[in-house]
Structure 1
Amino acid sequence: MVAQKRTRPDDAIISGLIQDTDLTDEELTNISVLLLIAGHETTANMLSLGTFALLQNPEQLRLLREKPELMPGAVEELLRYLSIVGSLGLSRLAIGDITIGEVTIRAGQTVLISLPAANRDPALTENPNDLDVSRPRASHVAFGHGIHQCLGQQLARTEMKIGYHHLLRRFPDLALACEPHEVPLRSDMRIYGAHALPVKW
């Protein structure tokens, strides 16, 4: 595919990487595999976790079914509310001294960043611990920030919009088939999610 896109570029991400970088075929292949794997696991977990969150918030589920035009904003809200990447903390190394609030971080120190805590910062939105699919889009760092932003974020958003839309349309009576506390969560893994989501319809 890399060789093909070198001779016949299109508007896909691999062609963009070929045009904008000096990456070798091996590097481009490795990046493509990484995007495929990272994009699959994260999106699959986000779809199951988002479904789990909606089933636990029936008024939000009902609102989304009644007003499917809310779906783009609902996806952003679910991304903010759930924060599946970095649940164990992202580590960064300070390259210079910096003071945040009343804390000074020295060059060379390691900092652990909690994306879930950042996404529920009360300075970003009112009632940040509530799921509200009609909320005006609030800032979030579910896809990272700056140079660390996820390359596949637009694809992930599209997959979630389509996935949730068709799930809610095809299964109007979808419900949990167990108690919420019985859903086995991946709380000890790098990508947060559900090992299984038992449902009925």
Structure 2
Amino acid sequence: MTTTRPPSIGEFGRDGLTLDPRYGELRRAGGPVVRVRLPDGGEGWLVTGWEEARRVLSDPAFSRALAVGRNAGARRRETFITDMDAPEHTRVRRHAVRAFTHRRVQRLRPRVEEVVADLLDAMLAEGPPADLVERLALPLPITVIGELLGVPPGDRDRFQGWSDAFLSTSAYSPDAIREAHARLDAYLVELIDRRRAEPSGDLLSALVHARDEEGGLDEDELVNLGVGLLIAGYETTAGQIANLAYTLLSRPERWARLAADPDLLPTAVEELLRFVPLGSDTGMPRVAARDVELGGVRIAAGDVVHVARAAANRDESVYTDPETLVLDRADNPHLAFGHGIHHCLGAHLARLELTAALGGLLRRVPALRLAVREDELRWKEGLAVRGLRELPVTWTGAVS
């Protein structure tokens, strides 16, 4: 009798923004939850079904805290908010969540649109060609999150190298990753000390106040929350601004449709978030805290479970024609920002920045197009997030 070895998710590849078709093939052939081999050589479970993914992301039976240190996909410190389970996660998150409510984020809209306008003014004044990563995708989110957290403008350029190493899966050596962690920690300690001595109206000052006067956050939690907010607020949004712009520009008919119908943009952004993968294809691992039934299989306590959110966003049982970018898709319960207690804290802010950036480009440079062939584009490799190193664009005709 022969036993078929489970597929290895460590062999699944990346090609730009293309999702490896084997995720969908596994779901269709084996169901929404399948046994797989993990990159560290062990075995675990891969979830590619939308309903099952939501269950894992929200059910306390699947623990992030238990996954810390279990394999290469796990973070290394229990004081990261992404590695906490309730009630610790709830206690830490509540100190920051008030700054990211929909109402508060909407108050930032005029400032975000002002930053976009200033960046596009400078880009258009210089003329084509331009690198959209350098001119818009990077400076917009680092300016916004920097102002929100109270990071001085002169310090913001220091974060790009640190954040790349922080999010490395194989692009940086273990020593370089440790150094990036240490530098980020040291900088946040320094900035916290400044805000403790000279508080202002920024979020970090409010968090320091919560630490010192209200209680509930210890110093490590405060530092790691600041690091997490800074990296997530910068790197992921910067990557998706470029990724979404590229996705539209590589489909000129989609770009033209949005330029002609700007009211469609909010719906289109949701579809782009569903369609375009960003983070690690298999997500942060979780560990089953008890025996549990999921998707027709039994997962034993202690088993490692990975959720492929990008694959779940293309589940045929939820989406009609899921492999097609449908800009006016009306019913779109995507999982791009996660689900449950670890739903992205900055989702409202990310939506605002993405919509403002794309809206500014569509309005002011409707004739924008790629300046190089698609096969000449360079993609970041060995990082937990997908993204372009540069996005060369050009345009002709009048701009506003």
Q: 1:107 aligns with which of 291, 296, 301?
A: 301
* Residue number among 74, 77, 80 corresponding to 2:271 in the alignment: 77
- Other structure's SS at 1:90 match: coil
Q: Shift in Å at residue 83 of structure 1?
A: 2.5
Please, which of 344, 355, 358 is the counterpart of residue 150 of structure 1? 344
RMSD: 2.6
Q: Shift in Å at residue 148 of structure 1?
A: 1.4
Q: Counterpart of 2:314 in structure 1: which amino acid? A: R
1:1-45 deviation line (CA, Å, top 9, x unaligned):
6768xx8889x6975894997224663354233212211110111
Higher deviation after alignment, 164-173 or 38-47 = 164-173
- The alpha carbon displacement at 1:88 in A equals 4.6
Match of 1:23 among 214, 217, 234: 217
Aligned residue for 1:144, secondary structure, equals: coil
Amino acid paired to 1:99: E
The residue number in structure 1 matching 2:257 is 63
Equivalence for 1:168? 362
Identify the range of structure 1 (182-191 vs 106-115) with the bigger mean alpha-carbon deviation: 182-191
The answer for unaligned runs of 5 or more in structure 2 is 1-149, 151-191, 396-400
Tell me: CA distance 1:88–1:186, structure 2 relative to 1, closer, same or farther (3 Å): farther
Could you list the per-position Cα deviations for residues 95-142 of structure 1 after superposition, in whole angstroms to 9, with x for gaps in the alignment?
A: 122222332211100012111101111122111111111111411111
Aligned AA (2:353): E
Contact 2:256 2:366 in 1 (8 A): no
Q: 95-104 or 160-169, which moves further after superposition?
A: 95-104
Residues 90 and 181 of structure 1, relative CA distance in 2, 3 Å threshold: farther
Q: 87-96 vs 127-136, which deviates more?
A: 87-96
Shift of 1:54: 0.3
Partner Cα separation in structure 2 for residue 14 and residue 99 of structure 1: 45
The alignment-based identity, stated in percent, is 39
2:377 to 175, 178, 183: 183
Task: Return the letter of the residue paired with 2:299.
Answer: I
SS at match of 2:285: strand
Number of residue pairs matched by the alignment? 198
Equivalent-residue separation in structure 1 for 2:323 and 2:232 (angstroms): 27
- Is the Cα–Cα contact under 8 Å of residues 42 and 191 in structure 1 kept in the other structure? yes
1:141 matches 2:329:
no
Aligned residue for 1:46, secondary structure, equals helix
Length-normalised TM-score, structure 1? 0.85
CA gap 1:65/1:188 in 2 versus in 1, 3 angstroms: same
Unaligned runs of 5+ in 1: none
C-alpha change, 1:165 and 1:13, in structure 2 (3 Å) is farther
For the 8 Å contact 1:14–1:28, the answer to whether it is kept is: no
Structure 1 residue 34 corresponds to structure 2 residue 34: no
User: Hey, what does 2:144 align to over in structure 1?
Assistant: none
Computing the radius of gyration over CA atoms, which structure comes out larger, 1 or 2? Answer: 2
* Greater RCO, 1 or 2 (C-alpha within 8 Å, sep 6+): 2
Query: CA 1:22 to 1:89, structure 2 compared with 1: closer, same or farther past 3 Å?
Result: closer
